[in-house]
Amino acid sequence: MKTVIIVFMFFLIGAFFIISENNLALKQADNIDKFLGLYSTWLSHIFDNAKGISTYVIKMNWLPNETEK
């Protein structure tokens, strides 16, 4: 349960940073559309980076060399 709360807080804090960095007042429809575009782009980058890191970790050689004794 703690992990879910931490992940939720991460995405919520990310949303707050996007709102504050772009000076978006979410009372206006134009700003809501802009926020949703920026937030979805941010999420896309997060998942792309996670995919890249996972791919790198999977491809690493985790077994010791046979010459090391």
65: in domain: no
Domain membership of residue 64 (yes or no) is no
Number of domains present in the structure of the chain: 1
Q: Which of 10, 20, 1 is nearest to 43 (CA)?
A: 10
Domain that holds residue 46: 2-59
Q: What per-residue confidence (pLDDT) applies to 23?
A: 94
| pTM, two decimal places | 0.76
pLDDT level of residue 64 (50, 70, 90 thresholds): confident
Alpha-carbon distance 60 to 69, whole Å?
Answer: 21
Residues with Cβ within 8 Å of residue 11, at least 6 apart in sequence: 43
